[in-house]
Amino acid sequence: MATGRSHRPATRSRGIPEATVARLPLYLRALTALSERSVPTVSSEELAAAAGVNSAKLRKDFSYLGSYGTRGVGYDVEYLVYQISRELGLTQDWPVVIVGIGNLGAALANYGGFASRGFRVAALLDADASLAGRLVAGLPVRHIDELEAIVADNQVSIGVIATPAGAAQEVTDRLVNAGVTSILNFAPTVLSVPDGVDVRKVDLSIELQILAFHEQRKAGEGRQEPDGDVPAVMPA
């Protein structure tokens, strides 16, 4: 069922720290894997290891959800899946539009993980009129001129931007004016948005640069100067 755009996840209003919110999807992914294997309960240590988090942090995070587990038994997997999904707002349907249906937009549209996590792709939009009507992941690409009507008709609150960087701000402004309040930006540019609009940025090249930094440091550690100095690097 579509939701009104005034609806915001309960997490912030309930005072759960952003760092905890950012770890909830990691727990959920690990718990979903356990659930698929019909594992009924899990200890905080096992779950922490599966999620790549330290177990004291996990227990603290779960205390914000009011979930303490049972001593000697651990946490009920199904109940935790439900609790975390509810906390993240995933027990309801979130219609999403993807703007820019080139290489990346088409790959995102074809990603099955959206639907299984409650994100329904309501429409695919592109400015290239020659793409209009073409089927991508079973959905027809719609022209960007239809953006406002599509957002209103489907009560879309989340927009995904996969346009070139130069078009991203203009697309953002249109999405926001149409009523979208959350944006996932894949374009390599900083977006400005009014208060009340959340932007998350995904940038694989930045992640690769961070890995390159660590690689360089590892290589530097193996190549110490005779006096013990390591080549100067920026702090992490």
Feature table: binding site for NAD(+): 100-105
Query: How far is residue 185's CA from residue 146's CA, in Å, rounded to a whole number?
Result: 20
CA atoms within 13 A on the CB side of 149: 5
- Is 202 a binder of ligand NAD (CB under 6 A)? yes
165-194: contacts with ligand NAD (CB under 6 A): 165, 167, 170-171, 186-188
Residues marked as binding?
Answer: 100-105
Rule CB under 6 A: say whether 99 interacts with ligand NAD. Answer: yes
Of 42 and 141, CB closest to ligand NAD: 141
List the one residue from 144, 156, 158, 160 that touches ligand NAD (CB under 6 A): 144
Residue of 63, 164, 212, 221 interacting with ligand NAD (CB under 6 A): 164
Q: How near is the Cβ of 164 to ligand NAD at its closest, in Å?
A: 5
Please, what is the minimum distance in Å from the beta carbon of residue 125 to ligand NAD?
Answer: 6
Closest to ligand NAD by CB, 49 vs 132, is 132
Q: Whole-angstrom Cα distance, residue 161 to residue 105?
A: 8
Q: Indicate the residue whose CB is closest to ligand NAD.
A: 102
Minimum distance from residue 109 beta carbon to ligand NAD (Å): 11
Q: Is 204 in the site for ligand NAD (CB under 6 A)?
A: yes
For tokens 């239809």, the residue is 146
Residue 66, C-beta contacts closer than 8 angstroms, at least 6 positions apart? none
Indicate whether 102 belongs to the interface with ligand NAD (CB under 6 A).
Answer: yes
End-to-end, the C-alpha distance of the chain in Å comes to 44
Q: Does 215 bind ligand NAD (CB under 6 A)?
A: no
Size of the site for ligand NAD (CB under 6 A): 25
Closest to 108 measured CA to CA, from 171, 163, 170, 156: 163
Least distance from ligand NAD to the Cβ atom of residue 50, Å: 26
- Please say whether the beta carbons of 168 and 144 come within 8 A: no
User: Does 103 contact ligand NAD by CB under 6 A?
Assistant: yes
User: Residue length, the chain?
Assistant: 236
What 3-state class would DSSP assign to 113? Answer: helix
Nearest to 51, CA basis, from 76, 87, 88, 22: 22
Under 8 Å between Cβ of 156 and 97: yes
- Distance from CA of residue 23 to its chain's centroid? 11
Residues that bind ligand NAD (CB under 6 A): 99-105, 125-128, 144, 162-165, 167, 170-171, 186-188, 202-204
